[in-house]
Amino acid sequence: MNIRFFALTVPVLSLAACAAPEAYDGGGRGHMPPVQNQAGPADFRAFSCENGLSVHVRQLDSGKVELRLDDKRAVLSSAVAASGERYTAENGLFGSGTEWHQKGGEAFFGFTDAYGNSVETSCRAR
């Protein structure tokens, strides 16, 4: 009987030892401090683009984002996307159409520059 008991308890205890413990909250009774790496609604996320541009993106309320490119600023509205998040504005950067399509840490950025040139580039989060 003792052999059976030990034969069953050893695997159970081994599995229990492998289980991940709950995070220690410092005695705060369930209160965990906020994670520092998560961007809040007021924080900009920086992207570096293949053509050398540096774009800063900030999530606004009600399905909009703010893009900043050097001293230019545009607010884009949510648009239909097959995958990821897509935002557009007819009167965006430089007073022309602007598109930002983001999925994870990668994005497609399209706009018409101040000289009327159509610019399309890929960007990655920094």
Query: What is the rounded CA–CA span in Å between residue 61 and residue 115?
Result: 32
pLDDT in tens, 80-126: 999 999 999 999 999 999 999 999 999 999 999 999 999 999 999 99
Quick one: pLDDT band at residue 42, thresholds 50, 70, 90?
low
Which pLDDT score, from 0 to 100, does residue 125 have? 96
The answer as to whether 106 is a domain residue is yes
The answer as to whether 74 is a domain residue is yes
Instruction: Determine contact, residues 106/121, Cβ cutoff 8 Å.
Output: no
Quick one: pLDDT band at residue 59, thresholds 50, 70, 90?
very high
The answer as to whether 7 is a domain residue is no
The answer as to whether 103 is a domain residue is yes
Residue 27 one-letter amino acid? G
- CATH number at 111 reads 2.40.128
Residue 103 CA, distance from chain mean position:
8
Does the global pTM surpass 0.85? no
Query: Which range of residues forms the domain containing residue 83?
Result: 45-125
The answer as to whether 29 is a domain residue is no
The answer as to whether 13 is a domain residue is no
Identify the residue with better confidence: 32 or 48. Answer: 48
User: What is the mean pLDDT of the segment spanning 63-85?
Assistant: 94
| Average pLDDT over the chain, rounded to an integer | 79
Whether the predicted pLDDT of 25 surpasses 80 = no
Number of structural domains the chain divides into: 1
The answer as to whether 118 is a domain residue is yes
The answer as to whether 35 is a domain residue is no
Whether the predicted pLDDT of 14 surpasses 70 = no
Which pLDDT score, from 0 to 100, does residue 58 have? 95
